[in-house]
Structures are given as structure tokens and as C-alpha cells.
Amino acid sequence: MTKINLQNNDIFFENPKRIVYPTCWIEFIPVGFKIIEYSKPMCLVELGTHSGNSFCTFNQAVEFLHLETKCYAIDNWEGDFQAGFYGPSIYDELFEYCRQEYPQSAILIKKTFDEANLLFEDNSIDLLHLDGLHTYEAIKHDFFKWLPKLSHTGIILFHDICVKSKGFGVHQFWNEIKADYGFAEFCYGNGLGVLFVGSEIDQIQKDNLLFISRDGIWKNLLEMKGQHIFLKRENKLLEFALSRSSKILDNYKESKSYKIGMILLSPLRYLMNKINKFRS
């Protein structure tokens, strides 16, 4: 029976080096780390990178584990109607970050998924992350278009398998396809599915991934660490907003209009105090 002990130097304890807006993927950072540890892909392709939270997670794991993985990020870096549309600074910033931090592993390909598909040979991709448009038609199209590119040890990750909002059809496609292959599911946040499409995936790798998705302790640890990362980021944003509004308030207190206002209101305050005393 599989049993995985947690050592002090486990990648689980790594903290993400870079988190940026939008943060819909960041709860899966600890799971992403473990997937790279167990699958050790030579060639990783991501369809849908946006500002790079998932992509940087994979690259950080590759660096931490001293792997020689090549990680390809594919996106038109224009956005879509679900993720929203955005300007060129998103690509520029990610490109610069990857150039500095992950020059050995990270390769950014600014193309549509269908255009980029021609760049990869059949049986060449070990780990494919599907995170583009999340309609039923789009995920089905991306899956079948890229399936022949997967190697004999190929694994496909599906983000958003738990999202049931209008227009999101990954959950429907996932439920149709998962029984045709072995699979593991991480059902919290927006949900992450792991599909074992290769016919020669190492059984220990598979067992390890299944184990961390099913074992009560591991499941809780991964979910709690993911939520901790998410809440830490929210907290940082709130602290920033609070310090900005405190500064605005302090500046206002120094302004003439505030001081004049206080003088003008003082008779009213005096009257309110009297009324309150009388009432009590």
C-alpha cells in the first residue's frame, strides 16, 4: 500500500515566489508542486497562461527539484470573454520575470492554441495543462486537438472541473471523459483534474498522485496550504488598501477644509452631547 511520509525538505513546504492577479489558480500551487515532483515531465505545455500563476508554479517546482523540464506557455495574451481582455503589459512582465528567473526552463509562445499545436510533434508532451477558454466546446476541442501530442507517459491537467457557473463546461466534459482513463481529482476551489492518458505511466507515479488526492491527511494538508496561500494574498491586499486609506484620512485631517468643518460642526457636537446626556 502507498504511504508517503512528509520530510522536512519536501516541496510541499515551498512557498510560491510570485503571485499576481488574477488568483483563481493559486489554491492549487501545493498540488502543482507535487504533480511535478511525481510526474517529472521532460516536456510540459500549458494552454492558457495569462499572468502566469500556474506557469510559474510549474517552473518553480522544476527549479527546486533540479529537473531538466522544458515548460512551454501558450497564450495569445489577449484574453477571452471569461478571463477578461487585457493589454500587452501582462505578457511583457511575465516574459521579463521568466527571462530572469527561469531562463533554462520557461518558453513563452504567443500564439493561439491551434497555431501552436503545429509546433509540437506527436507523442512529445509529458504533461499538458488545459486552462484556456472554459466552455464545453472549447475544452473538448483543446483536448482532442492536443491528445495525439501526449507521450506514452502523458498526463493532462484540467483546471475548473468544479465550476458550474453559466458558460463553464469543463465539469461536464471532465465527467464524460474521466472514466475512459485513470484519473485523480482535487475537488476544492475551482477544482483540478488529473487524467492519466499515457499507456505507460509509471505505476508508482500514478499511485502517488492518486494517494495524495484520496488520503484524508494529504487531501487536507494540500487544501489547507492552498487556502493559506490564497488568504495570505487577500490579507496582503487588504493591508495595502487599509494603509492607503489611512494615509488619505491622515492627509485629510491636516487639510484646511477638515479643520474648518470641525469648527463649524462644534456647536452641533455640543448639542448632540447634551441630548445624549439628557436621554441617558
Ligand X SMILES: C[S@@+](CC[C@H](N)C(=O)[O-])C[C@H]1O[C@@H](n2cnc3c(N)ncnc32)[C@H](O)[C@@H]1O
Dihedral angle sign, alpha carbons of residues 201, 205, 209, 214: positive
Among positions 11, 18, 65, 79, the unique one binding ligand X when judged by CB under 6 A: 79
Residue span binding ligand X (CB under 6 A) among the ranges 30-38, 128-136, 203-211, 257-265: 128-136
Q: Which of 179, 195, 184 is nearest to 219 (CA)?
A: 184
Distance CA 217, CA 211 (A): 10
**Measured between alpha carbons, how far apart are the two ends of the chain, in Å?**
72
Distance CA 41, CA 43 (A): 5
Contact call for residue 112 and ligand X (CB under 6 A):
yes
Q: Which of 33, 20, 132, 2 is nearest to 79 (CA)?
A: 132
The C-alpha cell at 258 is: 477638515
Among positions 30, 32, 41, 132, the unique one binding ligand X when judged by CB under 6 A: 132
Contact call for residue 113 and ligand X (CB under 6 A):
yes
Contact call for residue 133 and ligand X (CB under 6 A):
yes
Contact call for residue 60 and ligand X (CB under 6 A):
no
Distance CA 133, CA 148 (A): 20
C-beta of 135 vs 208, nearer to ligand X = 135
* Residues between 9 and 48 that touch ligand X (CB under 6 A): 22, 25, 48
| Length of the chain measured in residues | 280
Contact call for residue 153 and ligand X (CB under 6 A):
no
Contact call for residue 75 and ligand X (CB under 6 A):
yes
Contact call for residue 78 and ligand X (CB under 6 A):
yes
Contact call for residue 245 and ligand X (CB under 6 A):
no
User: CB atoms < 10 A from the CB of 205, how many?
Assistant: 17
Contact call for residue 110 and ligand X (CB under 6 A):
no
Residues that bind ligand X (CB under 6 A): 22, 25, 48-51, 53-54, 75-76, 78-80, 83, 112-113, 131-133
